[in-house]
């Protein structure tokens, strides 16, 4: 009988040692919740409270180790702001990915700087042609206006009334000249902006080629 009791006790002791040597997975019943209230005071509980959900909490095991963190609940304004920030970050990531694809295509299409510079130069040449055409048209329209003003001046010097159709023609021609000048100014501004953009593009191309060489 004593021998049987000793055997049982030995088996129990070995089982206990095995349990400590190979602990089982944490069961849900052994988890607790840890959080700080609005005043910064630390709390522990076996179940979730409204304050814990409101302020955010940690799930801890029976040894006090955090196994998971849950952020606090956002209010309506914070949710809108969080979505706005997430959308902005996603847009930045898409833009960065698109830039990588664009750079790769550019390097593939233009293997050297001369080829890339020629394409940029062609765009600038097209703008120069537009400017030249507008300048020719402007000079023509200015001459037409000068002729109309001359005719009106001749009539005034002859002390004759200036006909309404001539006055209307002068007003209309002035509008045409003003529009041509506005168009020319816009084209010249566009050329300046394009030249600056091309300078940056060329610098970017050189940086990419240098990085590619490394």
On whether the pTM is more than 0.75, the answer is no
Same structural domain, 84 and 94:
yes
What was the pLDDT predicted at 29? Answer: 59
If asked whether residues 93 and 145 sit together in one domain, one would say: no
- What's the confidence (pLDDT) of residue 210? 92
Mean pLDDT by 10 residues, the chain (214 residues): 43 41 50 84 84 85 86 83 91 93 92 93 96 98 97 95 96 98 98 96 94 84
- Are 191 and 131 found together in one domain? yes
CB 204 within 8 A of CB 120: no
Q: Are 161 and 123 in the same domain?
A: yes
Q: How many CB atoms lie within 10 A of CB 180?
A: 18
- 90 and 116 fall within a common domain: no
Cα–Cα distance, 119 to 194 (Å, whole number): 13
The length of the chain, given as a count of residues? 214
User: Do 81 and 115 belong together in one domain?
Assistant: no
Measured between alpha carbons, how far is 192 from 194 in angstroms, rounded to an integer? 5
Give residue 86's domain range: 76-109
Do 95 and 139 lie in a common domain? no
How many domains are contained in the chain?
Answer: 3
Same domain, 6 and 91: no
């Amino acid at each position: 009988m004593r021998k049987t009791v000793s055997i049982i006790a030995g088996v129990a002791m070995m089982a206990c040692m095995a349990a400590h040597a190979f602990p089982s997975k944490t069961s849900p019943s052994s988890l607790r919740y840890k959080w700080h209230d609005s005043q910064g005071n630390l709390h522990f509980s076996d179940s979730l409270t409204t304050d814990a959900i409101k302020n955010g909490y940690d799930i801890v095991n029976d040894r006090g180790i955090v196994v998971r963190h849950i952020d606090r609940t956002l209010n309506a304004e914070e949710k809108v702001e969080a979505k706005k920030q997430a959308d902005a970050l996603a847009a930045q990531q898409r833009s960065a990915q698109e830039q990588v694809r664009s750079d790769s295509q550019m390097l593939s299409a233009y293997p050297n700087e001369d080829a890339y510079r020629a394409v940029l130069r062609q765009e600038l040449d097209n703008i120069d042609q537009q400017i030249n055409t507008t300048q020719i048209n402007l000079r023509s329209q200015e001459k037409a206006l000068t002729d109309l003003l001359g005719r009106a001046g001749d009539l005034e010097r002859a002390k004759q009334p200036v006909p309404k159709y001539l006055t209307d023609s002068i007003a209309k021609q002035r509008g045409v000249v003003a529009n041509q000048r506005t168009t020319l100014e816009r084209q010249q501004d566009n050329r300046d902006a394009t030249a600056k953009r091309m300078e940056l593009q060329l610098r970017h191309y050189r940086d990419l080629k240098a990085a590619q060489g490394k």
